Amino acid sequence: MKVLFEIGHFPIYIFGFFIALGVMAGIVVAMLEAKRKKYDEDKLFNFILVAMVSGILGARIYFILAFNLDYYLENPIKIFAFRDGGLSIQGALIFGILGSLIYGKIKKINIWEVADIVAPGIILGQAIGRIGCDVFGVEMSKELFWGVSMKGQLLHPAQIYEAVLNFILFGILWSKRKSVKFNGQLFSIYLIGFSINRFIVEFFRTNPIVFGGLTIAHVTGIIMLIVSVVLYRILSSRGNIKKDNKVKKYDINIKELLVIISLIVISVTIYYSIWL
């Protein structure tokens, strides 16, 4: 992993920096949305902390089980070497949801109301975090100007592919947030959108093949997509209509569109300034 700077003898890696930046940005966005909806911010922050801890543990567990189980069985102490890398966003999402569901049940929280509040922040954090990721894609079959040269190979910048798709999804969720019709609608859209994004990007990454050219992440993405669609239908059938009178319709305004475009342009610029 590439070092951004050092504090004494303690290195700060680029990937870790952007993950931290993404987490902070996501929390800020969630808190802004909580304020708009007049939701208890302290209650929301505690919820986010539980989801984050669950997500980090899940990201590690999924990576170990899905991608390199033999290595960790032979080197069990390495399971705790988080700084060496080895986290999976899909595992983080799965375990983060499970941890949130359990916490919400214990604290009697309307989990789907909170899920809608945090959904835009989650995907924004994912987009920012991908900028510093050092897991590049497969080799390009022909030279394209946006490829990244690594060890004599021109590779697909899979990280920025995913970041751009996630920024677009953030824009959709942010503009949709004032017109949800039932609790959980926005979060369901997030799950569906992210599952599609990751499925697309996975064609440009190198991961263990399960069958028919599909990787373990492809299969996980398909399962997540099916579950997300089913969840959307179940929640919508409950007739749990939200009352938000500020905006009555789905509305993408120019200012929001310009912000998303700016985020993409800035992110692409930062990405290539780091890795070229």
* pLDDT for res 240: 60
Q: How far is CA 91 from the centre of its chain?
A: 11
Mean pLDDT over the full length of the chain:
90
Amino acid 245: pLDDT = 44
Dihedrals phi, psi of 59, to nearest 5 degrees: -60, -40
Q: Quick one: CA torsion of 222, 130, 37, 238, rounded to 10 degrees?
A: 0
pLDDT band for 192, please (50, 70, 90 cuts).
very high
The region, left, alpha or beta by phi > 0 then psi within -120 to 50, assigned to residue 86 is left
Measured between alpha carbons, how far is 115 from 122 in angstroms, rounded to an integer? 10
Q: What angle do CA 20, 157, 202 make, to 5 degrees?
A: 90
Instruction: Please state which of the ranges 6-10, 121-125, 225-229 shows the lowest mean pLDDT.
Output: 6-10
Residue % of the chain over a pLDDT of 70:
95
pLDDT (0 to 100) of residue 246: 47
Segment 166-191, tens digit of pLDDT: 999 999 999 999 889 999 999 999 99
pLDDT tens digits, residue range 142-172? Answer: 999 999 999 889 999 999 999 999 999 999 9
Residues 119/110, Cβ–Cβ less than 8 Å:
no
Number of residues in the chain = 276
pTM over cut 0.75: yes
